Amino acid sequence: MSSGFTKAMARNIFYGGAVFFFLLFLGLTLDTHRKLPKLDNRQALSESAIRGKRIWEVNNCIGCHTLLGEGAYFAPELGNVYARRGPDFIKAWIKMQPTGVPGRRQMPQFNLTDQQLDDLVEFLKYTNGINTNHWPPNIEG
């Protein structure tokens, strides 16, 4: 028996490892698809929340804000803003922009209608209900 590492041994290790990790990938993918309905809050996804997401996209809110960690870090995280501030505060805050406070970054005025504000708040409420495994680590995002 040779004590060296042969091409056949290397090939077997490569193919065995490739099959193992492919099966591991399949197993983790199936597990994710099985658990996703419990985590993604799809039961709360209403037509209003869908319209709110469209408003979020059209106005490029993610260009400044983060939502569940995705987006720009220019403005606050909004994944849990519904729990932090509530619907009335969110609507009032958007309506009063820009605040004109010197030295503070200004959010533009989007001139949203009351229906659009309600839809956007409904989208933020939906987002707040997604199970993020206690992320962000503090309530202020």
Dump pLDDT digits (tens) for 27-52.
Answer: 999 999 999 888 888 888 999 999 99
**Is residue 62 domain-shared with residue 93, that is, in the same domain?**
yes
72 Cβ contact partners less than 8 Å away, ≥ 6 residues apart: 62, 63, 64, 65, 66
Angstrom CA distances, 88 to 84, 118, 136, stand at 12, 10, 23
Interstrand relation of 66-67 and 70-71 (parallel, antiparallel or unpaired):
antiparallel
Average pLDDT for 71-92: 93
Q: How many domains is the chain built from?
A: 2
Is the Cβ–Cβ distance between 80 and 68 less than 8 Å?
Answer: no
**Is residue 49 domain-shared with residue 23, that is, in the same domain?**
no
**Is residue 23 domain-shared with residue 7, that is, in the same domain?**
yes
Query: For residue 141, what pLDDT band results from cuts at 50, 70 and 90?
Result: low
Average pLDDT for 70-92: 93
**Is residue 124 domain-shared with residue 79, that is, in the same domain?**
yes
* CA-based nearest residue to 108, from 123, 91, 121, 96: 96
pTM, rounded to two decimals: 0.78
**Is residue 35 domain-shared with residue 47, that is, in the same domain?**
no
**Is residue 83 domain-shared with residue 133, that is, in the same domain?**
yes
**Is residue 120 domain-shared with residue 70, that is, in the same domain?**
yes
**Is residue 34 domain-shared with residue 53, that is, in the same domain?**
no
Q: Residue 22 sits in which domain range? A: 1-39
